[in-house]
Copies of this chain bind each other. A is one copy, B any other.
Amino acid sequence: MAYSIGEVSNMLNISVSTLRYYDKEGLLPLINRTSGNIRVFDETDIECLKMIECLKTTGMQLKDIKLFFGWCEEGDSTINKRYELFLEQKEKTEKQISLLQDALDRINYKCEYYRIAKERGTTNDPGLKEELAMKFLSQNK
């Protein structure tokens, strides 16, 4: 299957200018062109873009994503590098999720705090923190 840049943009929800930017930065080295110089994306390019999105979600920089695709093209001699890259990214992602979970705990506390403050019309109510302490025993603020 072949897709135009506009079709890919709609399918993956990535702007056309971003797709061209990725191409310019060398993240999509395999893209074909028509005789009229127009980009033609195929399934492989779509898979690449999905991987870019995945790695970007986990906080990897474009230059490192580019490095990874470079290794893929170099072939089997880089398997170990690629393996270690994913092991490292797994660690980082687990750490990020854990940080976000901690932040979510604090936010949930604040949601309860302001829900009760809203009921009472004030944050100055002396019983507010004590009441919350009963619900969130493991937290101190």
Contact = CB atoms under 8 A, between A and B. Distances in A.
A92 to B, nearest CB: 9
Interface size class of A (residues with CB under 8 A): 35 or more
B97 A101 contact: yes
A114 interface: yes
Copies in the complex: 2
Contact of A100 (B96, B106, B121): B96
A55 B51 CA distance: 28
B122 A83 contact: no
A65 to B, nearest CB: 13
Interface stretch (A4-12, A14-22, A29-37, A74-82): A74-82
Contacts of A99: 57
Nearest to A124: B76
